[in-house]
Amino acid sequence: MHISEISHYESSFNLIKNQRSDDFRIEGICDRHGFSSHHIYFCASKPFWTHLRDGAQKGKIKDTFIIFDIKFLKLVESEFDEVMTDVAGWGSVESVPLAMSNLSKPFYDDIRATFNDEIDGRKMGTAKIDPTAKIADNVFIGADVAIGAHVVIHSGVRILSQSSIDENSEIYPNVTLMPKTKIGKECRIHSGTVIGSDGFGYNFDAGIHKKVWHMGGVVVGDQVEMGSNTCIDQGTFSPTVIGDGSKLDNQVQVGHNVHLGKGVILCGQVAIAGSTIIEDYCVFGGQAGAAPDIRIGAGSQVAGGAGVTGSLEAGSTVGGHPARPVKEWLRTQATLRKLSLKK
């Protein structure tokens, strides 16, 4: 897609400044986890603008094209001279969420065209498999898949295009790795787990839930273990990340763009909503959950069944719904019980 073609996909797009040329190529969409040249960055509110300013100060936004929410644009135009020098250009749209739905589709189609999950990569000669790997019957391996030394893959596994599994990992029966899934060293992925499905992202317009097309993939670190029937959604434009040494129990749900740090424990039926960051060595008890786009500080503990609706400082211990410091929550429960028992 060229700058001049953006309006073909998003009718409300207004080109304000082109600092390159009409045929300057846009190759994808980037987000807060990393700027990329020849990519679109959406800016709809102050946190995204702050991130953009930080990127400018570090010289990371060269040749990035910025699309603003038209209402927010007016609030920051006075700061453009110190921020927008190196970008490819900028424009505005009436609704950034809807523009994300409309503009993500052509980039998704371009990436999807590089996949081949109809013919086994071993037949095409595109799969790279270490000779020490053990692969059972009835395993499908897509195009450009890489499998490292001493990997064990059980029957019924599906490993789709451009995925990789590093050395000494074991994938149990009926696991599915969707395209662009990266599994680290010495991991164990148990039966029925799906890694890399699309995130649950839609924007409502004129009676239709318009899909945001996901293409970020998943990166799983070293020595990670996932229980049966766990689901990890791929990132929207950059990967969902599962940190080294993390352990996920059965039936855990991790949403798109989530970043888990090192040694995170998620017990059975935990659900983490999209874009949440969980720092190192946090623990979530069974059936606990976290709201989207919050940060859980390192070493925090969340009691079983709790619902975390806001960010937590490092070392927090919380319970209840909405989650509160655990001692406060216990006192509240005791007080309610006393009141309920009064005649």
What are the distances in angstroms from CA 242 to CA 13, 70, 275?
36, 35, 13
Say if residue 46's pLDDT is above 80: yes
Say if residue 297's pLDDT is above 70: yes
What is the pLDDT confidence band of residue 285, given thresholds at 50, 70 and 90? very high
Q: Is 321 tagged catalytic? A: no
| Range name among 14-23, 98-107, 280-289 with the lowest pLDDT average | 14-23
Say if residue 343's pLDDT is above 80: no
Query: How do residues 156-166 score in pLDDT, each as one tens digit?
Result: 999 999 999 99
Residues 6+ apart with CB under 8 A from 173: 154, 155, 156, 157, 191
Percentage of the chain lying above the pLDDT 70 cut: 100
Query: How do residues 163-220 score in pLDDT, each as one tens digit?
Result: 999 999 999 999 999 999 999 999 999 999 999 999 999 999 999 999 999 999 999 9
Contacts 24+ apart (CB under 8 A), 68-72: 68/43, 68/44, 68/92, 68/93, 68/96, 69/43, 69/44, 69/45, 69/93, 69/94, 69/95, 69/96, 70/14, 70/94, 72/43, 72/44, 72/45
pLDDT for residue 32: 85
Residue 76: its H or E element = helix 70-76
For 177, the token pair is 């790795």
Helix (H, G, I), strand (E, B) or coil at 119: coil
For 207, the token pair is 């009676």
Residues 6+ apart with CB under 8 A from 279: 261, 295, 296, 297, 298, 299, 300, 314
Domains of the chain, earliest start first: 3-112 (3.40.1390.10), 122-331 (2.160.10.10)
Contact 173, 154 (CB under 8 A): yes
Query: Which one of the listed residues 39, 154, 190, 256 is annotated catalytic?
Result: 256
For 277-302, what is the mean pLDDT? 98
pLDDT for residue 342: 83
